[in-house]
């Protein structure tokens, strides 16, 4: 099992694309792996013949470093691994218990005192994974300290929690409980922005309001570098470029693909990249490196008619920008009453990494670009 990224220690082996006896070339796709947020195609690292599959498809929670199969390289091809015959790796046998669970899940259950027979598995084929044990342990602790509601007999359906849903729940709970959030809001008049968008679209260069927001956020990070940071216990990490994540709703939950160096990309290029990332996010085809990192996240619910958004931080980022819908309302321009299109932007920030005045400067820079979109043209 390859190391997919520094913070992913296991993945599900969804399917094998080859069978024992098949000959493959270096770079051929041989298996599909699934993490909590994406499905990843696994390529052969050398040319040769697949001898034996050790980890069957449908296995959940396969740890990084686990031997998945035996492979015989072609003659003259450097071997990936050449163990002595008597040391050839063998598949790990399932414990005698009839309950299907990963080794990590069994260890976690033993440590937490959780009965595997009472846990519903969310992995492939109903296999119990470590996240199931953590959820069961947390549910037991909550149930022990909270009063039980009276069952009204209302019809209901229990929906199994996916690996992605559990991961989102764990990360956001940790973020809300351990990061001191503060919030700043500003109203932006976007009539000139809408006029510019209409001109782009008339030229068949389709730009969305969200594309303008992503670009404005990137330029603001460059203008206010004190906000382009992440908190660690040992140091404050300042980033040298403006990588902006975009929150995308998928069937399984929220995912945040990252537009790298968004400050250096013209609007049309940025728009095409955002659309490509969003489409592949909904299909579960992002590589982990495409949704990890980033300086700031843009979370836009304006298309749903929401006026204000107060989002939870996406660690290790220190800022997330919530964007509402543009709506017409009375505004004062040069001392006279007029009708303008106003959009609310709310910044959630980590108070450990930046103070209110830095957040205010960042939000002011975003507002300036949105109200004068010519600043966003290269």
Residues 6+ apart with CB under 8 A from 213: 298, 300, 321, 323, 345, 366, 370
What are the distances in angstroms from CA 13 to CA 17, 58, 83, 123, 372? 11, 6, 23, 10, 50
- Give the dihedral sign, CA 60/254/353/134: negative
Looking only at the bridges linking them, the beta strands covering 244-246 and 296-300 are parallel
Contact 133, 119 (CB under 8 A): yes
Active-site residue among 287, 304, 307, 351?
Answer: 351
Separation of alpha carbons 309 and 313, rounded Å: 12
Task: Please indicate whether residue 351 is annotated as part of the active site.
Answer: yes
Nearest to 164 by CA among 285, 253, 251: 253
Backbone angles phi, psi at 268, to 5 degrees: -65, -45
CA atoms within 13 A on the CB side of 248: 25
The candidate with the shortest Cα–Cα distance to 299, out of 268, 320, 283, 317, is 320
8 A C-beta contact, residue 326 and residue 190: yes
Radius of gyration, alpha carbons of the chain: 25
- 174 phi, psi to nearest 5 deg: -65, -40
User: By three-state DSSP, how is residue 67 classified?
Assistant: coil
By annotation, the residues acting in catalysis are 351
């Amino acid at each position: 099992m390859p190391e997919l990224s520094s913070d992913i220690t296991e993945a599900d082996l969804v399917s094998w694309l080859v069978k024992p006896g098949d000959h493959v070339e270096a770079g051929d796709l041989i298996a599909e792996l699934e993490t909590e947020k994406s499905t990843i195609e696994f390529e052969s690292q050398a040319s040769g013949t697949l001898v034996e599959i050790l980890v069957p498809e449908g296995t959940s929670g396969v740890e990084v470093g686990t031997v998945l199969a035996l492979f015989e390289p072609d003659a003259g091809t450097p071997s990936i691994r050449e163990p002595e015959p008597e040391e050839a790796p063998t598949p790990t046998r399932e414990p005698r218990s009839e309950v299907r669970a990963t080794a990590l899940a069994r260890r976690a259950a033993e440590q937490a005192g959780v009965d595997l027979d009472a846990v519903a598995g969310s992995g492939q084929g109903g296999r119990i994974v470590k996240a199931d044990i953590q959820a069961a342990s947390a549910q037991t602790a909550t149930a022990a300290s909270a009063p039980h509601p009276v069952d009204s007999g209302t019809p209901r359906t229990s929906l199994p929690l996916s690996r992605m849903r559990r991961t989102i729940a764990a990360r956001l709970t940790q973020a809300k409980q351990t990061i001191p959030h503060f919030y700043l809001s500003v109203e932006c008049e976007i009539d000139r922005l809408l006029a510019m968008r209409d001109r782009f679209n008339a030229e068949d260069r389709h730009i969305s309001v969200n594309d303008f927001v992503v670009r404005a956020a990137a330029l603001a990070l460059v203008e206010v570098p004190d906000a382009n940071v992440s908190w660690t216990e040992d140091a404050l990490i300042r980033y040298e470029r403006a990588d902006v994540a975009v929150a995308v709703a998928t069937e399984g939950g929220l995912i945040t693909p990252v537009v790298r160096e968004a400050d250096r990309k013209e609007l049309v290029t940025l728009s095409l990249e955002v659309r490509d990332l969003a489409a592949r996010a909904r299909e579960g085809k992002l590589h982990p490196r495409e949704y990890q990192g980033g300086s700031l996240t843009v979370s836009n619910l304006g298309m749903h008619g929401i006026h204000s958004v107060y989002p939870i931080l996406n660690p290790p980022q220190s800022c997330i920008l919530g964007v509402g819908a543009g709506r017409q309302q009375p505004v004062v321009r040069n001392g006279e009453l007029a009708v303008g299109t106003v959009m609310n932007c709310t910044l959630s920030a980590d108070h450990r990494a930046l103070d209110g005045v830095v957040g205010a400067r960042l939000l002011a820079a975003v507002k300036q670009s949105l109200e004068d979109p010519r600043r966003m043209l290269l």
